[in-house]
Amino acid sequence: MSYVDGFVLPVPTKKMAEYRKMARLAGKVWREHGALDYKECVADDVKPGKYTSFPQSVILKKGEVVVFSFIVYKSRADRDRINKKVMADPRLAAMMDPKKMPFDGKRLIWGGFKTFIDL
Q: What is the pLDDT of residue 96?
A: 81
Confidence of residue 94 (pLDDT cuts 50, 70, 90): confident
Q: What is the pLDDT of residue 1?
A: 85
Confidence of residue 117 (pLDDT cuts 50, 70, 90): very high
Distance from first CA to last CA of the chain, Å, rounded? 10
Which domains, ranges and CATH numbers included, belong to the chain? 3-95 (3.30.70.100)
Q: What is the pLDDT of residue 116?
A: 95
- Give which of 53, 31, 42 is closest to 103, Cα–Cα: 42
Q: Would you say residue 74 has pLDDT above 90?
A: yes
pLDDT tens digits along 22-65: 999 999 999 999 999 999 999 999 998 989 999 999 999 999 99
CA 57 vs. chain centroid, Å, equals 14
User: Which residues, in sequence order, are CB contacts of 61 under 8 Å at separation 6+?
Assistant: 10
Q: What is the pLDDT of residue 97?
A: 82
Q: What percent of the chain has pLDDT over 70?
A: 100
User: Which residues, in sequence order, are CB contacts of 106 under 8 Å at separation 6+?
Assistant: none
Q: Would you say residue 91 has pLDDT above 80?
A: yes
Q: What is the pLDDT of residue 78?
A: 98
Confidence of residue 20 (pLDDT cuts 50, 70, 90): very high
